[in-house]
Structure 1
């Protein structure tokens, strides 16, 4: 089969499509002919040599995919050849074929294309994990979503809306804020205009938010804490702005009973990923069928243009997911 390989750690020009060995399945797995995959920030880090895959996972990039089941293991009980499925992967999505445990499969509703389905697993499962399973999201909660126009951000806003809670989003342009509001955010803040703290305080009548989803890290840390309500949770999903924080006021954290949670989906134990996939599918599948939830796609590239797709993601211009069509 063909797959995107990293010739050596570096820039987007280090990616090329080469022939590699086709994977084989175990008894509880299926082989999927990949029709579409999607870019994630982790792909950019792995390409540079900074984010190796978990032990035993494929070295091929790609944390999600959509395609057709072409082979099933001896112990597979529900999946059938020809099924259209999408799934979260520990790696291996930038390839013509990939192996998926049956328990991780998500059926693709008839109203969604492969490209749309490929935009679901990583961002929606990440958002669901952090909002519901770690953030204990409840109706009438207020949630501050940073990077509101990103893949995870656009998914989180929709899930917050469907849970009956209120989302506030930050983003780097008025166009991105408008898209976040269109998806269900109550309001948005352009971070180029300064700190979001006075704005979010005003929006919540100085009560603060119950959950902050943060991708930025160190530069936002203090304002994130100040934005939280009593018993609030700061959930750190990424550290794009830096990892080192100085002069943390532990007294403030204690007084307000705050929780700071670090999270990563890729390194979760397999059993946790199965639990997450089942819970998310139960919550979301009918909502995708009836259009209440929608994958948000910025652009679609042929995988032969994978280097251009990576360059575009690095520009931070996208609103939603960047998709690769995996052709012959």
Structure 2
């Protein structure tokens, strides 16, 4: 089969559409004939040699896909050849086929195209595991998500709003501010024009946000703590991971907490539990239209360098998706 391979760490043009071995399903696995795959920032980091692949995972890029089950391994229940699915992957999504644990499958909603379905698993599992399961965002609480028009941000806005939270977000251009509001944000802050911590304070009458989902990292930590409500929770999931000063006194005064997580390095059991929770609590919101996929660009998979360049430029609203 064909797949996108990284010839050596470097810029987008190191990606090559080449022949690789066709996967076979192991016990508890299925093989998906891929129709579309999402492109994520983790893929860009892996291409540059900055995101080590966990042991036993596929060295190929790609953490989510949609398609049709073409083969079943032993010990697989509840799925059949021909089922249309999307999946959270451990790697290998930039290809014509991929083997994946059946516990990481989600049924493709009939209302969605394969391109739309491929844009959801990574963002849905990231958002729900961090904001639903870890931070336990509640109806009526105030939620701040940075990067509101990113793949993560666009889904986080919609899920939090459907939950009944008051949603604030940041974005970098007037167009993205408008897009974030169109997705359901109660207020969107242009971080290039105003200090987001001051804007959050103003929007909440000085109380702050109960939950903050941060994709920026170290440069935002101090302002995130300043933006936090009493008993608030910050969850950091990416961005600049360099060392920074943690304002422990201010955090203690607010009885706040800071957590930092990744999804790819979790165990298969943890991923299965997250996918199961997404299936139960978030997937119905996709089926009834409360959450809709936001696909900004669709690119053929054999043009993967262009897909990576589009994401790196930062102008896409929603996800970049590649098709086979």
State whether TM-score is above 0.5.
Answer: yes
Deviations 1:146-182 (A, max 9, x none): 0010000001001101111111010111111111111
Asked if structure 2 preserves the Cα contact closer than 8 Å seen for 1:11 and 1:47, the reply is yes
2:248 counterpart (247, 250, 261) = 250
SS at match of 2:50: coil
- Residues 1:238 and 2:234 aligned together: no
SS at match of 2:290: coil
- Cα distance change of structure 1 residues 111 and 249 upon mapping to structure 2, 3 Å threshold: closer
Deviations 1:263-297 (A, max 9, x none): 10111111111111011111122222221111110
In structure 2, distance between residues paired with 1:285 and 1:305: 31
Residue aligning to 1:274: 272
Q: Unmatched 5+ residue regions in structure 1?
A: none
1:313 counterpart (299, 308, 311) = 311
Please list, as runs of the form range in 1=range in 2, the aligned pairs for 1:186-205 lying within 5 A after superposition: 186-205=186-205
SS at match of 2:192: helix
Asked if structure 2 preserves the Cα contact closer than 8 Å seen for 1:33 and 1:70, the reply is yes
In structure 1, distance between residues paired with 2:247 and 2:288: 46
CA RMSD across the alignment:
1.0
In structure 1, distance between residues paired with 2:207 and 2:154: 25
Offset at residue 139 of structure 1 (A): 0.6
SS at match of 1:21: coil
Residue aligning to 1:128: 128
Q: Which moved more, 1:43-52 or 1:279-288?
A: 279-288
In structure 2, distance between residues paired with 1:109 and 1:196: 36
Find runs of 4+ consecutive structure 1 residues off by over 4 angstroms: none
Residue aligning to 1:294: 292
TM-score, normalised to structure 1, is: 0.97
In structure 2, distance between residues paired with 1:102 and 1:303: 24
In structure 2, distance between residues paired with 1:253 and 1:56: 39
In structure 1, distance between residues paired with 2:50 and 2:299: 25
Q: Unmatched 5+ residue regions in structure 2?
A: none
Please list, as runs of the form range in 1=range in 2, the aligned pairs for 1:47-126 lying within 5 A after superposition: 47-126=47-126
Residue aligning to 1:27: 27
Asked if structure 2 preserves the Cα contact closer than 8 Å seen for 1:53 and 1:90, the reply is no
In structure 2, distance between residues paired with 1:320 and 1:115: 12
Offset at residue 117 of structure 1 (A): 0.4
In structure 2, distance between residues paired with 1:80 and 1:167: 40
Asked if structure 1 preserves the Cα contact closer than 8 Å seen for 2:90 and 2:100, the reply is no
